[in-house]
Amino acid sequence: MSKLRSITWLVVVTIFAVALVILALSHMVTDPAHVIPELGGDAIKNTFQEYVNRKEIPNLLLSGSAGVGKTTIAKALCNEVGCDYIVINGSDESGIDVLRNKIKNYASSVSLSGGRKVVIIDEADYLNPNSTQPALRGAIEEFSSNCSFIFTCNFKNRIIDPIHSRCSVVDFKINGAKAKMAAAFFKRCEWILEQEGITYDKEVVAAVITKHFPDNRRVLNELQRYSVSGTIDKGILSNIADVQLDTLITSLKDKDFASTRKWVTNNLDNDPIKLYRKLYDGLYEVLKPPSVPQLVLILAKYQYQAAFVADHEINLIACLTEIMVECEFK
């Protein structure tokens, strides 16, 4: 098996392992009707172990940033309990027809194993809150006798309240455990690279984790990309450097669209949420005070859109163009 192909399946194994650690450190937050006291990591892990022991999966809403292992945990839970399941991606199939076809046809049939069935709806926050999500509420009730639903989302505030109230909500938050989690993931990455016989520089691996953590999937994908030659060395550090705003600020001041577009192309590799935060921190100091509120509104609009747009490059260029036109620099 080639290094590139072998490391691909290890990505799946690793995300599952890290997801379990995150699960152990996360805090469960539920609707008042489904309150589970906020206890330590072991208690949360024990809660999921109890689902496995009882062979029972309730309706769940798993919330957290991209790459932390929400979907992996959902699948692992189904496999451990022995439930048949189907995965539907909300970002790909966000129309009402999803309910009338895939979900209804699957949920209304009897499980081949004789147990309950599970519908995993990945990226449920992409589903239309005015049509598809309300219909899901009805589906939860209609098929409650033989089917459970697990929703995953990056932004739980985009899930309507009637779904919240019908699910136990698990919030994948790292909070004060970030350093501990990053250190554990660093060791896991080292293990993968050593298993694959890839020569690596620890400083480079640490830099990749620092840049993308807690998006573990992104970290592994980047390491896979950099390992194609069989070596991960300091020569790639320039590719993973932090966002630099000096040239961008000059381009925006000069209303130089070509240079602004070039900056966007060079920085598309960065996490969108962190990138917009960096823009806020950097541009705040160089704008005239009356333009700061306009900056905040512009960044908020395009950061929100970044969660579901098809082309991140166009979205970011549109954001910077609006800043260029609407804001005054010192």
Give the Cβ contact number of residue 71 at 10 Å.
20
Per-residue model confidence (pLDDT) at position 219: 86
| Domain with residues 246-326, CATH architecture | Up-down Bundle (1.20)
| pLDDT tens by residue, 29-67 | 333 334 333 333 455 667 778 888 888 899 999 988 777
Per-residue model confidence (pLDDT) at position 24: 41
Residues in contact with 237: Cβ distance below 8 Å, sequence separation at least 6, in sequence order: 203, 204, 207
Name the DSSP letter for residue 262. Answer: H
Say what angle helices 70-81 and 41-54 make with each other, to 10 degrees: 40
Per-residue model confidence (pLDDT) at position 287: 92
Residues in contact with 48: Cβ distance below 8 Å, sequence separation at least 6, in sequence order: 23, 73, 77
| Domain with residues 27-173, CATH architecture | 3-Layer(aba) Sandwich (3.40)
Per-residue model confidence (pLDDT) at position 111: 75
Determine the CATH number of domain 177-240: 1.10.8.60
Domain spans in the chain, listed from the N-terminal domain onward: 27-173, 177-240, 246-326
For residues 328 and 283, give the distance between their C-alpha atoms in angstroms, rounded to a whole number.
11
Look up the pTM and report it.
0.62
Query: In 3D, which of 27, 307, 22, 33 has the Cα closest to residue 164?
Result: 33
Integer angstrom CA distances of residue 94 from 124, 134, 258? 9, 13, 35
Are the CB atoms for 3 and 198 separated by under 8 Å? yes
**pLDDT tens track, the chain, 330 positions:** 444 444 443 444 444 444 544 444 443 333 333 433 333 345 566 777 888 888 889 999 998 877 778 898 899 899 999 899 999 988 776 567 767 778 888 888 877 777 789 999 998 988 888 888 888 888 898 888 889 999 999 888 889 999 999 998 888 776 666 777 788 888 989 998 998 888 888 888 888 888 777 778 888 888 888 888 888 887 776 655 556 788 889 999 999 998 898 888 777 767 777 788 888 888 888 999 999 999 999 999 998 888 777 788 899 999 999 999 999 998
